[in-house]
Amino acid sequence: MLSLPSPTHQQSLRRWFSADRYVALPGLLSSTGLATLGAEARRLEAEGVRRDFRMPCMADSPRHMTTLGGHRIADASPAITGLYEDRQLRRLLSSLHGEAVVAVHDPVERHVLNVLHRPGDTHGAHTDDYPLALVLFLEAPPSPVGGGLLEFHPDRSDLDALDAPGTRRVHHRPGDGYLLRSDRTAHRVTPLTRPGLRRTVLNFAYTTPGRQGATTSSASLLYD
């Protein structure tokens, strides 16, 4: 499923992650992995729930997308739960983070599916409950003008930061991944700009030993 970076490359990726709280992992999914997970996501999307609301605990930032929570994914997709638990993947994440990385216990939040599929669909500003988000791209607009860009501020966790200087905007392609220090880094996904565009991701949440338990009610509102 995965095409892992070499140990030497991992060292430079680790420095990048430590400096920016973000590191791009282009082509992290092998072509087989992308095909397998893409088929799983298409199947699971039919069970997803359309969400259109503002998140009260995140400054009323908008959510417009179809989601499926981890508990539903666990029932339906051994391929996704198997990848979440993959030892080599966990080793990569521990190496990039520079300390041990462990699974999130909460079955809802540990792995989720987010599908942006209508013009204006967006995942508004927030921080996550757990320290690390590994996001895997199964579909994405072919160019940055289509939207669906990750925006984050590498130095700030307050949500106003995303309108301040220093905010980064990144485009990703199907098969790409990224790792984000997501509890301390304000982030959001920019709106899709026109009909026909789609952006589908799996978000795998990880934590550090001894740190379990959600800090906000946001996941229960988006994924229950």
Applying CB under 5 A, which part among 106-114, 160-168, 180-188, 208-216 lies near Fe ion? Answer: 180-188
In the complex, what is the shortest distance from the CB of residue 102 to ligand AKG, in angstroms, rounded to a whole number? Answer: 18
Amino acid of residue 58: M
C-alpha–C-alpha distance, residues 214 and 104, integer Å: 10
CB 133 within 8 A of CB 84: no
117 binds ligand AKG per the rule CB under 6 A: no
Footprint (CB under 6 A) of ligand AKG, residues 182-211 = 187, 189, 201, 203
C-alpha–C-alpha distance, residues 200 and 66, integer Å: 9
* Nearest residue to ligand AKG, by Cβ distance, number only: 203
In the complex, what is the shortest distance from the CB of residue 133 to Fe ion, in angstroms, rounded to a whole number? Answer: 5
Q: Which residue in the block uniquely carries the two structure tokens 């984000």?
A: 180
Listed in sequence order, the DSSP H helices in the chain are 7-20, 31-45, 70-76, 78-84, 87-97, 218-223
183 binds Fe ion per the rule CB under 5 A: no
Applying CB under 6 A, which part among 33-41, 46-54, 70-78, 128-136 lies near ligand AKG? Answer: 128-136
Applying CB under 5 A, which part among 31-39, 160-168, 177-185, 189-197 lies near Fe ion? Answer: 177-185
- Complex with ligand AKG: residue 11 or 143, whichever CB lies closer: 143
111 by Cβ neighbours in 10 Å (0-12 / 13-18 / 19+) ranks as buried
- What is the distance of C-alpha 140 from the center of its chain? 13
- Complex with ligand AKG: residue 7 or 56, whichever CB lies closer: 56
In the complex, what is the shortest distance from the CB of residue 205 to Fe ion, in angstroms, rounded to a whole number? Answer: 9
128 binds ligand AKG per the rule CB under 6 A: yes
Residue 189 interacting entry, from Fe ion, ligand AKG, none, C-beta within 5 to 8 Å by type: ligand AKG
The DSSP output letter for 154 is T
150 binds ligand AKG per the rule CB under 6 A: yes
- What is the distance of C-alpha 87 from the center of its chain? 19
**Inter-axis angle of helices 7-20 and 87-97, nearest 10:** 50
**Chain contacts with Fe ion (rule: CB under 5 A):** 128, 182
**Chain contacts with ligand AKG (rule: CB under 6 A):** 112, 114, 123, 128, 133, 135, 150, 187, 189, 201, 203
